[in-house]
Structure 1
Amino acid sequence: MIKNIKIVFLIFFLIILVPTNSKAQSHRVSLLTCDAGEEIYTSFGHSAVRVQDLSTGQDLVYNYGTFDFGAPNFVLNFAGGRLDYFLSVSTFDRFIAEYDYFERSVREQVLDLNETQTKDLVQFLQTNYLPENRNYRYDFFFDNCATRIRDAMRVILGDQLVWNEQKQLPVEKTFRELIDEKVLYMPWSDLGIDIALGSRLDRDATPFEEQFLPSYMEMAFGSAEIIGDGPSRPLVSQSRVILDFPDSEEKMATLNPYWIFWVIAFAFTAMTFIGHKKKRLFIGIDIFVFGILGTIGLVLAALWIGSEIPSTKWNWNILWAFPGHLALVYGLTKKQIQPWVKKYLLFALILADAAVVFWILGWQSFHPSLIPLLLVIILRTNYLYYNLGGRSLKVA
């Protein structure tokens, strides 16, 4: 009799357990990590969340990396840190088709969430997708398509999520070094980024902060664990490759600033030497160079003062690309050189020397291709300071 009662209770327990497990498996949530593309805005990779409804077959991808190229004042808003990205939703097939077309590899990490955690994450994404919630103010380093997913996991799991940072790469890297890894073979883009962004990029990023790059977040998810809701388990239960394309052969562009700026530096040195021998100043080349530098300086000043992007503040590139160089251009175009011009040349020389000191002391890392440009500034300001206004030299 007791044996029969036990069998009845066992059958009853199994009847209850089956729908519970079925409910627990109603959704499957995955992290999608996409490799870099050829365009500058795709060169850092991409992250998205895949949500599969196993009961209906619905397969959606939640994408925090969506923006509108056609938005009014797109360039100005992007540069000023006032561009909104938004969460979009597409079918998995449509999402993958785009990456297949551009031959960008995609990898999937299935998250080992329990029933409640899965339900909460799906609800979180659906709430974020509401029209009043889907827009957010984009920040490349601290609020982007990857960090939004990471932060969602922190909201859902709280202290149950352990990143196990000691299992990740132990090498400390600055934000600038992390960017350089992705744009090394895009030298002009790398140069532009290094000029536009300031000294805040030259501090070491923590393993947590490194997750602004999708590849680093993928690695962090792979080493993370969930604790406190039963036996500890890896955050990722399964990994697989969805699209796999061979890595493109990355070659430095033939026309790159590294050798072009050195050629310019040698040309300026030769012209200065010839000018000294022939008693000529060749001020025309200084008007051209300092005009470009002053214009760059105006842009840097505008980014420093007017942009809401914190990374454009405290940018010491402004020491060599100084807006005041435009005043020097004006002074050099006059037939009668005013006394203030020589004083400004000394000031410009001091600024260029200060840039070198800042670089050596590690207060800001400048792009390596700028070395010859700094030498040109130091050479020409020295030459003009000691020779400008000399009666024996011709201004030409």
Structure 2
Amino acid sequence: MVIMGRKIFREKFHKVVMKKVIKACKQSYIKYAFCLISLLCVFPFQSKASSEDSVRISLLTCSPGSEIYALFGHTALRYQNMKTGMDVVFNYGMFDFHAPHFIWRYIKGETDYQLGVTDYFYFEQEYSERNSSVYQQTLNLLPEEKDALFQILQKNYLPENRVYRYNFFFDNCSTRPRDRVEECIKGKVTYTKNTSPLSFRDIVHEFTAGHDWAEFGIDLCLGSKADEIIDYRLKMFAPYYLKEALTGAKIKANDGKERMLVSNAEEIVHRSPNKKTVESSYPSPLLTAWVLFVLVLLITAYGYKKKKSYWGIDIVLFSMAGLAGCIIAFLVCFSQHPTVSPNYMLIVFHPLHLLYLPFMFWKAYKGKKDPYQLANLAVLTLFIVFFCLLPQKINLAVVPLALCLWIRSLNYVCLNYKRNK
């Protein structure tokens, strides 16, 4: 649709300009010369260049932004046709926050993204205003490969094809352009292999550095599968790792000949060092968790001395732990995200905290023994001592939060023992 619109506009514009030139010829030679020069400026002479010279397809890699969905950067494909003047960007990262039940579907792993097409001018303007760098890697494709790739992109942009089921690690705005490029190549691509022993979580932490709360939330949701070491190809879910893989990558044609995949690389949108990024003024999750633990410890010690349990603290702590556990349990049981299960965070945060809360206070009110508090104390003790041995990296902010629950269960057990004695 975009392509047809541009052609129709160009044809109409040609007719309008040519009418003005003919009218100028009738009036005077001076006006004719002026219009002719203007015409040449708008539409310079088009040489009979081959498709190889007139068409250029590039991979664009955009640096991370400040929003949580932009922390990992972005990848797109740029198509330029020097003959027609077409310069568009194919973007597989389009989504709509206002779509019905967007957050609910995202949690379930049923988020739909779509392919969008926009003029390069607007694409560049957006990232320039965002103060993000954009790197261009021109693909060293044969004319028939360029034509094949363009046809694939046009087919993907059809209304019935443009929407796809998004997956953050396995099918996203970075893996889709890579797969489309591989699809058009007559041969095999050999990438520059990143052999560093990294997991999905390691790469996520690399791009969430400085965004502690976003990292904390992601760590709670990701399970132990996110800590498995991944190969060089799976690392390409992150745009910068795809960009790195293309550097030095080679195409081995079916006839055995080799050529570089990237013919030229340059930074086409420069990040301004003078613009200061807004830094978060919020304390980190780790600091917040330790402050909370100190407060809980002081109040618990004072209450133990006065033989009071202060139920309000337990209501807040166990309710929040239970709500967090409900979200984690839902992800483990129902989400289609492949890296959220199993999740050892359920040892600390689980729905039972919330469900058992009324019975917990009923037993406390009656002064009866509560096996739940004793079991919770034992489980949390094992977690705090051995969490480093779990096959899942635990965010350190979880430790003081676990200690808050541990100290409250210990307080209940000790107070109950003291009263019965």
Which of the numbers 202, 218, 225 marks the counterpart of 2:243?
218
Q: Is 1:232–2:268 an aligned residue pair?
A: no
State yes or no: 1:369 paired with 2:397.
yes
The residue number in structure 1 matching 2:3 is: none
Shifted more, 185-194 versus 336-345: the winner is 336-345
Aligned to 1:331: 359
Deviation at 1:323, TM superposition (A): 0.3
**Alpha carbons of structure 1 residues 253 and 365: separation in structure 2 relative to 1, 3 Å:** farther
Q: Is the 8 A contact 1:279 1:392 kept in 2?
A: no
Pair 1:245 & 2:245 matched: no
* Alpha-carbon distance in structure 2 between the residues aligned to 1:300 and 1:146: 27
> Would you say 1:273 and 2:301 are equivalent positions?
yes
Match of 2:61 among 33, 39, 64: 33
Measured after TM superposition, the shift of residue 127 of structure 1 is 1.0
Does the aligned pair in 1 maintain the 2:321–2:349 contact within 8 Å?
Answer: yes
Aligned partner letter, 2:139: L
Per the TM alignment, residue 251 of structure 1 is displaced from its structure 2 partner at its CA by: 5.4
1:123-158 CA-partner distances (Å, limit 9, x unpaired) = 111111111111110000000000001112222236
Q: Structure 1 residues 130 and 251 mapped into 2: Cα distance closer, same or farther (>3 Å)?
A: same
User: What is the rounded CA distance, in whole Å, between the counterparts of 2:382 and 2:334 in structure 1?
Assistant: 24
Partner of 1:283: 311
Give the corresponding residue for 1:182.
Answer: 207
Q: For 1:72, what is the secondary structure of its paired residue?
A: coil
Deviations 1:207-234 (A, max 9, x none): 1111100011001011211122564222
Letter in 1 for 2:265: S
For residues 313 and 358 of structure 1, what CA distance do their matches in structure 2 show?
20
CA distance in 2 between partners of 1:350 and 1:27 (Å): 67
Inter-partner Cα distance in structure 2 for 1:192 and 1:93: 36
CA distance 1:177–1:296, shift in 2 (3 Å):
same
Q: For structure 1, which segment, 122-131 or 352-361, has the greater mean C-alpha deviation from structure 2 after superposition? A: 352-361
SS at match of 2:84: coil
TM-score by length of 1: 0.87
Q: Report the AA paired with residue 296 of structure 1.
A: A
- 1:282 Cα offset (Å): 2.1
Give identity over the alignment, percent.
Answer: 34
Partner of 2:377: 349
Greater alpha carbon shift after TM alignment, 82-91 vs 270-279: 270-279
Judging changes above 3 Å, is the alpha-carbon distance between structure 1 residues 342 and 238 closer, same or farther for their aligned structure 2 residues?
A: same
Aligned letter for 1:60? V
- Quote the RMSD (CA, aligned, Å): 2.3
Q: Secondary structure at the match of 1:227?
A: strand
- Is the CA contact 2:192–2:244 (under 8 Å) kept in the aligned structure 1? no
SS in structure 2 at match of 1:359: helix
Q: Distance in 2 between matches of 1:342 and 1:356?
A: 22
Contact map agreement 2:220 2:345 (CA 8 A) in 1: yes
Structure 2 letter corresponding to 1:118: K
Q: Which residue of 2 aligns with 1:5?
A: none
* d(CA) in 2 for partners of 1:299, 1:340: 31
Amino acid at match of 2:167: D
The letter for the 1-side match of 2:268 is: I
Residues 109 and 239 of structure 1 are in contact (CA less than 8 Å); yes or no, is this contact kept in structure 2? Answer: yes
- Taking structure 1 as reference, are residues 162 and 336 closer, same or farther at Cα in structure 2, changes over 3 Å only? closer
- The 2-side partners of 1:99 and 1:146 are apart by 17
**CA deviation map 1:33-72 (0-9, x unaligned):** 0011111011110000001112211011000000011211
Contact 2:128 2:270 (C-alpha < 8 Å) held by counterparts: no
Indicate how the Cα distance of structure 1 residues 356 and 390 shifts in structure 2: closer, same or farther if over 3 A, else same.
closer
d(CA) in 1 for partners of 2:278, 2:258: 41
Residues 386 and 292 (structure 1 numbering): CA distance in 2 closer, same or farther, change over 3 Å? same
TM-score calculated relative to the size of structure 2: 0.83
Matching residue of 1:3: none
Amino acid in structure 2 at the alignment position of 1:133: N
SS in 1 for 2:164: strand
Match of 1:101 in 2: 129
Counterpart of 2:342?
314
Task: Write the deviation string for residues 266-309 of structure 1: whole angstroms up to 9, x where unpaired.
Answer: 11222222222222222321121001101111111122222221
Shifted more, 376-385 versus 129-138: the winner is: 376-385
Partners of 2:349 and 2:256 lie apart in 1 by 59
> Which of 154, 157, 164 matches 1:129?
157
Partner SS, residue 412 of structure 2: helix
Cα distance in 2, alignment partners of residues 130 and 356 from structure 1: 54
AA in 2 matched with 1:44: F
Give, in angstroms, the shift of residue 246 of structure 1: 4.1
Q: Tell me how far apart the structure 2 counterparts of residues 324 and 63 of structure 1 sit (CA, whole Å).
A: 44
Mapped contact 1:332–1:341 kept (Cα < 8 A): no
Give the deviation of 1:344 after TM superposition. Answer: 1.0
Q: Which amino acid aligns with 1:388?
A: N
More deviation, 342-351/245-254: 245-254
Among 226, 229, 239, the alignment partner of 1:204 is 229
Task: Pick from 63, 67, 73 the counterpart of residue 91 of structure 2.
Answer: 63
Determine which of 114, 126, 135 is the counterpart of 1:86.
Answer: 114
Q: Which moved more, 1:373-382 or 1:144-153?
A: 373-382
Report the more deviating stretch, 301-310 or 355-364. 355-364
Q: Secondary structure at the match of 2:159?
A: coil
Give the Cα separation in 2 of the matches to 1:253 and 1:154: 44
CA, structure 1 residues 39+213, in 2 after alignment: closer, same or farther (shift >3 Å)?
same
Aligned to 2:110, the other structure's residue is in SS state coil
| Equivalent in 331, 339, 347 of residue 303 of structure 1 | 331
Instruction: Please list, as runs of the form range in 1=range in 2, the aligned pairs for 1:146-185 lying within 5 A after superposition.
Output: 146-157=174-185, 159-165=187-193, 168=194, 170-185=195-210
